[in-house]
Amino acid sequence: MIRTRICDLLEIEYPILLGGMGSVLAPVLVAAVSGAGGLGALGCSNMNADQVRKAAADIRALTDKPFGLNFLIFIPNEEGLAAALDARPAVMAFAWPRPEQDLKPFFDRAHEAGSKVTFMTGEVPEARRAAEAGADVIIAQGTEGGGHVNWMATMTLVPMVVDAVSPVPVLAAGGVADGRGLAAALALGADGVLLGTRFLASEESPLHPNFKRAILKSDGHDTILTEIPDIAAGRVWPGAMARALRNRFVERWAGREWYLRQNRADAYARILAAREAGDAEEAYLLIGQDAGLVDDIPPAGDIVRRIAAEAEEILSGRLPGLVG
């Protein structure tokens, strides 16, 4: 059985985390990952206080295991943040500050609430800044990942962040979808992994079945780093692009972003309608390159157990045989 420092620190069985995904309201998915011995997190950046309270209660009604609440620091949401701290989750998971934002007040408040602090970043200097501000865990997120990412690949970023923030434990995110990814992350010096895309194609994921099928159909080569979803949603991120499926919607606006800005309201209304209708070509679908590794839609708990078992087999079965 694979155990790392993260298991003790977060009081979980497997070093496998579900990333908070603000656009995916999924207390059931969070509870399934936590219930299986991983750590689920819920993206709360766009929630008001009542919604945060209800989501935390919904998770607790399904599992008594630890879980996280996730906030994007650049999005002002004091009301939601205060409600999350009141809920005293095991983990407060932060990401994406503006460069001028001080991280320490966020981390201090989380610690005062009795939560551990994770901080996700795609850059070494920002990882160092978060470790100095008191983060308990740094998540090094590579550009392969789904949703908003930076430009460094997981393979290079993880060992660089491990060196930069040692002895603070590091998790690898971006491009990990199976036990091979977990084994590789441990070899790079990480203490575990955080996944998004893989869990979007799970039974408990609230995505429309057509969107789940689109993840299965994707070979990963058909994802693209783009600002088009953010332009359509009318939200500028501090230094990020979004990795999305290169579908008809993205193709329509690529190279004509100025025109999308001009027609934003209409385009966004069409996205919302497409999302509702389960049209995976006309809504944007944020997924990572690891969609190319996803070919089934199992219960999320099975994904957690499967990744752990596969990594264990690699570490104890295949790899030792390579050492003469």
Ligand X SMILES: Cc1cc2nc3c(=O)[nH]c(=O)nc-3n(C[C@H](O)[C@H](O)[C@H](O)COP(=O)(O)O)c2cc1C
Kindly tell me which of 168 and 286 has the beta carbon lying closer to ligand X: 286
> How many residues can be counted in the chain?
324
Report, in Å, the least distance between residue 324 CB and ligand X: 34
Residues 6+ apart with CB under 8 A from 55: 25, 27, 42, 44, 47, 69
Report, in Å, the least distance between residue 177 CB and ligand X: 7
Report, in Å, the least distance between residue 2 CB and ligand X: 18
Q: Which of 2, 14, 16, 20 binds ligand X (CB under 6 A)?
A: 20
Q: Which secondary-structure segment (H or E) carries 248? A: helix 248-253
Residues 6+ apart with CB under 8 A from 132: none
Segment interacting with ligand X (CB under 6 A) among 21-29, 55-63, 183-191, 299-307: 21-29
Kindly tell me which of 13 and 290 has the beta carbon lying closer to ligand X: 290
DSSP states of 119-146 as a string?
A: EEESSHHHHHHHHHTT-SEEEEE-TTSS
For residue 57, the number of C-alpha atoms closer than 13 Å in the C-beta half-sphere is 7
Binding to ligand X, residues 66-125 (CB under 6 A) = 70, 72, 95, 120
Binding mask 23-62 for ligand X (x = CB under 6 A): xx------------------x-x-----------------
- Six-digit token string for 54: 């209800």
Q: Which of 197, 218, 223, 247 binds ligand X (CB under 6 A)?
A: 197
The answer to whether the beta carbons of residues 265 and 232 sit under 8 Å apart is no
Report, in Å, the least distance between residue 260 CB and ligand X: 20
Kindly tell me which of 70 and 115 has the beta carbon lying closer to ligand X: 70
Burial status of residue 204 (CB atoms within 10 A of its CB: 0-12, 13-18, 19 or more): buried
Q: Which of 27, 35, 179, 196 binds ligand X (CB under 6 A)?
A: 196
Kindly tell me which of 45 and 131 has the beta carbon lying closer to ligand X: 45
